[in-house]
């Protein structure tokens, strides 16, 4: 019985510590820039052990007030058109993904911008059930504590946008030699077009597929009402 009580106390204390730390971290990141993410650390280690690559970590946090309105419009059009309406989960897209997975197919778009933000800021790349459970937990927390504007601001500042390039400011400077505030619709759509695999594709040398994806994103940007974020 003693060992059972000891295990119970350890589990209880661990749970309390986890809840306190996780909620505290979400609250802190509601107000301050995210300094680094697990993915950034992983990529640095991958580069360090690859003799053919130099270690590169390019990022520059900018507030949403210094990001062109075309950037949030483009990523929402490309990644999550229901972003302003859902509470972190797109259940219709998840159901479609589940049905297609059962048929041996895969569908893109089931992961919302909130979920992608959570994966980048708080978690590690993995497909385990534990990671998915933590993703759901942090998604609920973020939607409760952050505003939609803050979610898109963090997303645009931490998302991987190239090999060693993180965030819209670093992407704008690296690809177009201009600040994120000056991105036009075409440039924002091109950056959004490569997000599914930013280390394979690049806005400066777009493939035919990426050009067609950019054109599709531009059409979606026109069809969506202005999201109201950015300058």
Per-residue model confidence as pLDDT tens digits over 35-58: 999 999 999 998 888 777 778 899
Confidence of residue 73 (pLDDT cuts 50, 70, 90): very high
Residue 177 is predicted with a pLDDT of: 97
Spell out the domain ranges in the chain: 1-32, 34-223
Per CATH, the number for 34-223 is 1.10.3810.10
Question: Could you write out the three-class secondary structure of 32-88?
Answer: CCCCCCHHHHHHHHHHHCCCCCCCCCEECCCCHHHCCCHHHHHHHHHHCCCCCCCCC
Half-sphere exposure of 206 (CA within 13 A, CB side): 19
Using DSSP, state whether 17 is helix, strand or coil: helix
Per-residue model confidence as pLDDT tens digits over 161-178: 999 999 999 999 999 999
């Amino acid at each position: 019985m003693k060992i059972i009580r000891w295990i119970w106390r350890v589990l209880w204390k661990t749970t309390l510590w986890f809840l306190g730390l996780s909620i505290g971290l979400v609250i802190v990141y509601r107000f301050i820039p995210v300094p680094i993410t697990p993915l950034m650390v992983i990529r640095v280690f991958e580069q360090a052990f690859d003799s053919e690559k130099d270690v590169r970590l390019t990022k520059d946090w900018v507030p949403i007030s210094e990001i062109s309105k075309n950037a949030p419009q483009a990523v929402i059009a490309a990644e999550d058109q229901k972003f302003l309406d859902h509470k972190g989960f797109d259940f219709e897209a998840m159901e479609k993904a589940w049905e297609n997975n059962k048929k041996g197919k895969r569908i893109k778009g089931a992961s919302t911008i909130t979920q992608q933000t959570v994966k980048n800021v708080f978690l590690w790349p993995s497909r385990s059930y534990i990671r998915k459970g933590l993703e759901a937990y942090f998604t609920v927390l973020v939607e409760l504590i952050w505003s939609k504007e803050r979610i898109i601001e963090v997303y645009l500042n931490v998302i991987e946008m190239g090999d060693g390039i993180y965030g819209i400011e670093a992407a704008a400077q690296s690809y177009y030699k201009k600040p994120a505030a000056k991105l036009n619709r075409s440039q924002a759509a091109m950056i959004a077009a490569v997000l599914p695999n930013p280390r394979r594709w690049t806005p400066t040398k777009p493939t035919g597929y990426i050009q067609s994806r950019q054109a599709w994103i531009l059409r979606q940007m026109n069809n969506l009402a202005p999201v109201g974020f950015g300058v």
